[in-house]
Structure formats: C-alpha cells, structure tokens
Structure 1
C-alpha cells in the first residue's frame, strides 16, 4: 500500500489528524447538548478511527483508478461524489450501531442522543472528510510521481555525463601510447637498453592506469603516482633534460578528482615545453587546499621563439581537461592557462572533496 500509508510516519500523521477531528466531533456533540464529554469522546473517537482507515483505503484505490491526468479524469467529480455519499452513509450507520451498543451497556458514561440533526451533521461531515482524504491522496500520488520523474531525469543526466567523461578519458591512453611507441621505436636502434627500460615503465604506467579505471574519482595522491610513472617513461627519453619538482600538501593529496586529469597536463608540459628546449628544464607542480577549494598549478619552460607551425597547438590535453572538469563539476571548477616570458602555466580550481557524492 502506497500513498499516505507508505511509511510509519505517514500513518502516524494521518491518524493524528483524524484523532483531532474526532475530538472536534466530540466537542460539537457536547456543545449541542447531545451528551456529556465522556459520552461524546467514547462515541466520536472509535467511530472516527474506523472511518479514517475505511475512507483512507477507499479513497486511495479510487485515486489510483482515476488519475488526474488519465483518460477518465472527467468522471472524477461524479465518482468521488457518489463514493463520498456512500461512505458518509455507511459511517453514519456504523455510528448508530456503535451508539446502540453503548446504550445497551446501561451505564451513564456510554451512549449519546443521536437525533436527526446530529445524524445529518455526521453524514455531511463524512462526505467532507472523504473528499479531504481523496485530496490528500491525490497530493501524495502527484508528489511521488513528480519526485520519480525528477529522479529519472537526474539518473539519465548522470548517465549521459558519465558516458561523456568516459569518452574523454579514452582519448588519453591512445594519445600517450602512440607517443611512447614512437619514442621506443626511435630508441631501439640508438639505445636498446633504454628502449627496454622504457617499455617496462610504460607497462607499469598502464597497469596503474587500469587500476584507477574502476573508480569515478581518485585521490590526488593516487593521481600523482600515475604522473610519476609517466615521467619515468619520459625520463628514459630525455634523461637529465627533464626535471620535475612537486609541492603537494597532505590536505591536497587527500582530495578527490577524476582519474587521468593531471597526467595530460604534465604530458603537455613535456611535449610542448621540454621537447623543444635543447637544455631542457624543470616542470613544477603545486597543489594546495584553500577551504572548500583545491588549487593545482603546473608550470613549465617553453621555447621563447616557437616555430610557426607549433605556435598555437597545445594538443588535446588542455581541451580534454577543460571538458572533463565541466562535465564533473559544471561551473564549480575552472581552468586557466597563461604564458609569461619563457614559461607556460596552467591553474586549476575545483571543489575539495574528500568523499564521492
């Protein structure tokens, strides 16, 4: 049974309302002089509780059979008017039967003077209360329907977002793999041992990457392990030309972020920075937490006079990271990059999350 009786709290609130209505009926009986207060309470409260369940269940199934937006919506006023009259009449009959039983007890505190005026009042009240129960059920049913539709829309949006993020993540692995294979191919003739070492480091990188694949988000500390594996691969290729300095606070390392978010930026720094500098340089990565935000910065040297063909290209790294941040955090995250003098810097600001939401 759903509707008002879907959970215990709903039942308690519903019965509390009907108990209050029973007290009100007892008060009316006392005011019109039909009985003393104990007699009125003994009559009104049991009768109201019985009617609460009878009217509640009847109205609920009628509301389910005649939904507001259904094909039979035009018949709702007629159906519920007839049902309310029948329910009110039955309630009056139950009340008269209960009153007769109380009078048979032959004690002063049982039974009331159920005359024609009081009987008509009970019938009218029964009709109104049935309509009240039906209106409550319609409200609850429509609220549950709207909540379900909103939940379904949210789940569909999350599934679409997850599919978009997975598509963006699939761009990373082939991109890095092709670059690494080209490097290994170049090393096989010049430095076979270096090519073998690079192959092993590459295997370690993808093994670690696959371990993070099952998670929607990983800690920055885990992401940094992936970055170190990547740099170990590139270290074989560049040697002393490639230096790396990181400043990651413990609070920042515990924060969550989408997997493979930082690695493409470090790869960008190698491909578009260190690769074009004969003397190489240092890639700096900083991460700190400031309240509810996580700030990550990546800074690398660049060629002061880049060739015309490579002046604008920054690979897929920056656009991929920007799209993944937008998909995961919407307007709550941002990424900016600047070029000052002979260095290129990327700044990321995102929510500092410690648990997946």
Structure 2
C-alpha cells in the first residue's frame, strides 16, 4: 500500500496528527455554536478521521501525478485549488449527513446546529487541510527523491572506486610478470635448471595471488606470506645475494590492507637495489600497530650512485591504491640515504572485526 498508510508507523503518526486536528475542529465548533464539548467531539472526531483517509490518498496520488519539477506552477496550483475546494464541499456534506443521521437516530446529544456560518467554516477548513496534506506529501516525496538520488550517487561512487581499484590492481600483475619473464629468459641460457625452478615458483605465486580480489582486504600476515613467495622466486636468480629480515609486531599481523600492496615495493627493492649490488644486500620489512594506525616500512640496501630513474610504476600504483581505498587516512613516503632506500606506509589499523563498519 502506498501513500500515508504505506507503513504502520506512518499510518499511526498520520492519524494521530489528524486526531489533534479533530480536537481543534471540535473547539471551533464549540466556539461557533455554543454546543457542549461532548457534542463537539462526537461530531468532529469521526468525520475528521474519515476526511483524513480520503484526503490522504487523494492528495498523495495528485502529488504523484503532478510532480513539481515536471509541471508548471500554474497547472499545479489550479489542480489543487479545484481538488481542495471539491474536497471541502464533500466534507461539509459528510458533516451534514453525519449530523442528520445522529438526529434521526435520536442521538440528539451528538448533534450540533448546522448554521450557514458553520458550514462555510467547514468548507474553508476542508480546503486548508487538503492543501496542508498536499504540501506534506510533496515534502515527503521530495525527501524520498533526495534520498534515492543520494543512494544512487553513493552506489555510483562505490562502483567507480571498485573499478579504479581493479584497474590499479591489474597494473601490478603484468608489471611483475614482465620483470619475472625477463629474469627467466636471462637464466634460460646460463642455468636452465634454475630457470625451470623459477618458472614453477612463479606459477605457484600467481596461483596464490589470483584468488585475491582488488576490492577485498587481506591480513598483513597473509600479505607477508605472499611477499615471501615472491622473494623465493627472486632467490632462485640471486641466491645468497638476496637476504630478507622481518620485524613485524604480533599485534599488526591481523590488520587488514589491500592485497599485493607490499609486493611492488619489495619488487622495486630487488630490481633497483639488490640487483645493482655486486655483493648483494638485504631487504628489511617492519610493521607495527600504533593505536589506530598501521605503520609499515620496507627498506633495502642500494648502491652509492643513484640508479637511472624509471617510470615509477610500483610506487605510483601503491600511492593511488592507498588514496582510493583510504583517502587522506593513508599515505606513503620514501627517502634515500647514503646506502639505504626506505618506503614508509601509514594506513588505518582495521581488523576483521572492524571491517564491516569501517571498510572503505
């Protein structure tokens, strides 16, 4: 059911408002005719509640048929003027019929003198109440439209955010795959066994990563496990030249973060750091939870000479993904020291328990 009785709560509030109007109407009758309050209430309450139901549905469907933004103001005013005048006349006839019925049944205690001034007052009051009902319905319909537009806007924003996250995520896999295939190609001619081992590890890495959705978050523990799969691939090529150190607090392991957010950082550390060092070097991964903030640091040894600047796909991708997922609540900063390159991430420390209410 639509209109004022679409919900029980709405119907209750609507009838309560009209009951208060019926008491006011009874007071006007008492003041105009000198009738007793009992007579005024027994006369006004039934006819007012009947008029409330008829007016509610009539004005509601007229408001739906004549939306403010699609019809001219003159046509809307003319339609509602005629409708309210017609409703006021019908209500006056209803009041007169109810009064006559009470008198014919011998219920003289419920009747009131139906004078000409009283009838004119009922017509005018009926017109005003009908107009008030129409205004209330217009306000309710506009509120519903505003909420629907807001909901559509939020849905569109979420869909756009999801699409952007997926687009950014899809940049990672080809970038990583391209670098890995280059490494396998280089090993094929000098060490076929290691090239085969690296191929198998690469397949294992992608088997684990393909199940991760771009708009879903994983725990830091799962993300570090995936990073170690990547390290295992690279160790086939670098051997003892590639070392990894971890300093991850136990309280940070359950924190959630976008999947494969650390892999491009570690990949950069290998490609632009360890690969340029003759004696190899170390990649250090540290994480700690500081209140509501998760702090992650990835640093690696580098050569004294600055490397040739690349396109910066990894760092730019991570920055964009954090911005889309968390807005201004997350950030990434990198610094270069004498023989060290450090990337620091800060993002909200969300856990599985907080994800439904805080997910971005």
Q: Which residue of 1 aligns with 2:281?
A: 281
Contact 2:220 2:256 in 1 (8 A): yes
Q: 1:91 to 1:317 in 2, by over 3 A?
A: same
Post-superposition offset of 1:54:
0.8
Partner Cα separation in structure 1 for residue 33 and residue 246 of structure 2:
88
Instruction: Give the alignment of 1:287-326 within 5 angstroms.
Output: 287-307=287-307, 310=308, 312-313=309-310, 315-326=312-323
Post-superposition offset of 1:187:
2.3
Instruction: Give the alignment of 1:261-272 within 5 angstroms.
Output: 261-272=261-272
| DSSP-derived class of the 2:189 partner | helix
Q: What CA deviation, in whole Å up to 9, does each residue of 1:193-224 have, x standing for no partner?
A: 32222222111110111111375322222222
Gaps of 5+ in 2: none
Partner Cα separation in structure 2 for residue 195 and residue 325 of structure 1:
34
Q: Which residue of 2 aligns with 1:344?
A: 341
Q: 1:103 to 1:250 in 2, by over 3 A?
A: farther
Alignment length (residue pairs): 354
Q: Which residue of 1 aligns with 2:240?
A: 240
Contact 1:34 1:113 in 2 (8 A): no
Post-superposition offset of 1:114:
2.9
Q: 1:248 to 1:28 in 2, by over 3 A?
A: farther
| DSSP-derived class of the 1:243 partner | strand
- CA-atom RMSD, angstroms? 2.1
- 2:167 aligned with 1:167, yes or no? yes
Q: 1:23 to 1:347 in 2, by over 3 A?
A: same
Contact 1:26 1:44 in 2 (8 A): yes
Instruction: Give the alignment of 1:22-101 within 5 angstroms.
Output: 22-101=22-101
- Tell me the TM-score normalised to structure 1 length: 0.92
Q: 1:269 to 1:110 in 2, by over 3 A?
A: same
Q: 1:72 to 1:108 in 2, by over 3 A?
A: same
Contact 1:67 1:73 in 2 (8 A): no
Post-superposition offset of 1:38:
2.5
Partner Cα separation in structure 1 for residue 32 and residue 44 of structure 2:
14
Contact 2:4 2:57 in 1 (8 A): no
Post-superposition offset of 1:151:
2.2
| DSSP-derived class of the 2:211 partner | helix
- Tell me the TM-score normalised to structure 2 length: 0.91
Contact 1:26 1:40 in 2 (8 A): yes
Q: 1:189 to 1:79 in 2, by over 3 A?
A: same
